[in-house]
């Protein structure tokens, strides 16, 4: 086997940067056989077995990469995803509303402009002329 120190160095570097590639894939990159790659890595104490890539998926709420099979990175994200903070149109008190309720209403009625923390606020809003009946919470 011809020795080519620069090539060997590049192969080792490439392996370190791409731990999940197979020997054949590395060989293809350097136009040589997987046996050659194996030999180069083995004689330089580099791993010949590829690292198994961990399957990851983004958190639905914040896009942090997490292990596949889990939907949220934290309980906080779960809460924030399912509960949306909204502000009462009338009394300006912030409160949480279930996401599906908001989405449902958003699609049910056009113009989901006003949201009320309570029926009381809604009726007061209606009386004040802010909302018509269709904006009922």
Q: Point out which residues bind Zn ion (CB under 5 A).
A: 59, 61-62, 64, 73, 77, 88, 90-91, 117, 121
Distance CA 5, CA 7 (A): 5
Closest contact distance (angstroms) between CB of 118 and Zn ion is 6
Closest contact distance (angstroms) between CB of 110 and Zn ion is 23
Query: For Zn ion, which is the closer residue by CB, 62 or 136?
Result: 62
Closest contact distance (angstroms) between CB of 30 and Zn ion is 40
CB-based contact 58:72 (threshold 8 Å): no
Query: For Zn ion, which is the closer residue by CB, 32 or 86?
Result: 86
Helix axes 23-30, 34-43, angle to 10 degrees: 100
Q: At residue 57, what are phi and psi to the nearest 5 degrees? A: -145, 145
Query: For Zn ion, which is the closer residue by CB, 12 or 62?
Result: 62
């Amino acid at each position: 086997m011809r020795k080519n120190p620069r090539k060997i160095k590049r192969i080792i570097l490439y392996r370190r940067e791409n731990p999940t590639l197979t020997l054949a894939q590395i060989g293809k990159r350097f136009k040589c056989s997987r046996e050659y790659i194996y030999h180069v890595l083995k004689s330089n104490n580099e791993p010949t077995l590829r690292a198994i890539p961990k399957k990851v998926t983004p958190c639905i709420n914040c896009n942090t990469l997490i292990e596949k099979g889990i939907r949220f990175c934290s309980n906080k994200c779960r809460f924030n995803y399912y509960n949306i903070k909204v502000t009462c149109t009338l009394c300006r008190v912030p409160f949480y509303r279930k996401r599906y309720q908001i989405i449902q209403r958003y699609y049910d009625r056009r113009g989901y402009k006003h949201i009320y923390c309570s029926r009381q606020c809604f009726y007061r809003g209606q009386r004040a002329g802010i909302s018509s009946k269709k904006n009922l919470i």
